[in-house]
Amino acid sequence: MVDACSRQQAEDVCPAWNVPYRPINVYSDVSKLPASSTDIIPIIDEPGDPGVLGFHSMGIAPFGRVYVNPILDNGGCALFDPADPSRMSVASVLSHEAAIELPIDPGCDRFAIDEQGNEWDLEAADMVQRTQYVKLAKMPWGDVEVAVSDFVLPAFFDWRSRGPWNFLNVNGISALQGPFTIAPGGYAMVNGQATYARLLNVRPGTGALSYPCAYPPAWLMAHRPPGSRRTVRSSTRRLFAPGAP
């Protein structure tokens, strides 16, 4: 899974967002971690908060967590289910946090403004988290299919953009109706609040109704986690200007 996520970042995320590659490696022993310049994302069994699958944040350095049991206990899998390509997986959560959102916004301080003046956190996987695609992990015994998360492109955060707005949209697949929209099963951090929408043309903060969606599942919706970014909104937040990441 780590190999597939690393490939996704290098081949898909970094070119699309023009951000530096941050190598993803796996360590079974914390004593073997490099002495510095390491963003640590432990993959552990149980979350401290009910319903949390994973998150990323900023302390002295960027860090995150991926939680295995809430995924597997609620119908998820480890890598990829070819019988149900949309099935949640540990790998897609790792992709969401480590391969996509951490390199795009390592400081958890970037945001964009929609046409109504609402502030959207620069979380590039949240809005399309229900959509996945396959990256091949190159293993000594052969290629292994791994589900990784779709992500939005810089054009998503430009309300005048005609698209494409997400990575899979480049290949003709998109559940987004335009910039600053939310796909079924996705959500966005808007004005500091986790906002869910089911209708594709619902834009949070514009006065339109926001409908609970069928995914995330009911057990997760009941807890309404604060989103995959864990940070305190501050006056040091940086405005994102499309075309100049």
Summarize pLDDT for 161-215 with one digit per residue, the tens: 888 899 987 666 667 888 998 888 888 888 887 776 544 344 444 433 333 333 3
Does the residue 152 lie in any domain?
A: yes
pLDDT of residue 37: 67
User: What three-state secondary structure class fits 114?
Assistant: coil
Q: How far apart are CA 157 and CA 141, in angstroms?
A: 41
pLDDT of residue 166: 92
Q: How far apart are CA 180 and CA 36, in angstroms?
A: 37
Domain span including residue 187: 2-227
pLDDT of residue 70: 84
Residue 177 burial class via C-beta count within 10 angstroms: exposed 0-12, middle 13-18, buried 19 and up:
middle
Does the residue 237 lie in any domain?
A: no
Does the residue 14 lie in any domain?
A: yes
User: What three-state secondary structure class fits 240?
Assistant: coil
Does the residue 113 lie in any domain?
A: yes
pLDDT of residue 63: 66
Does the residue 239 lie in any domain?
A: no
Q: Calculate the alpha carbon distances from 189 to 36, 122, 220, 227 in Å.
A: 31, 8, 16, 7
Question: What is the C-alpha radius of gyration for the chain, rounded to an integer number of angstroms?
Answer: 17
pLDDT of residue 176: 85
Per the listing, tokens 């599942």 go with 217
Does the residue 202 lie in any domain?
A: yes
What total of structural domains would you count in the chain? 1
All residue ranges of the chain with pLDDT < 50 are 198-227, 229-235, 245
pLDDT of residue 200: 38
Give the global pTM: 0.80
Q: If you average pLDDT over every residue of the chain, what do you get?
A: 77
Per the listing, tokens 């109504």 go with 116
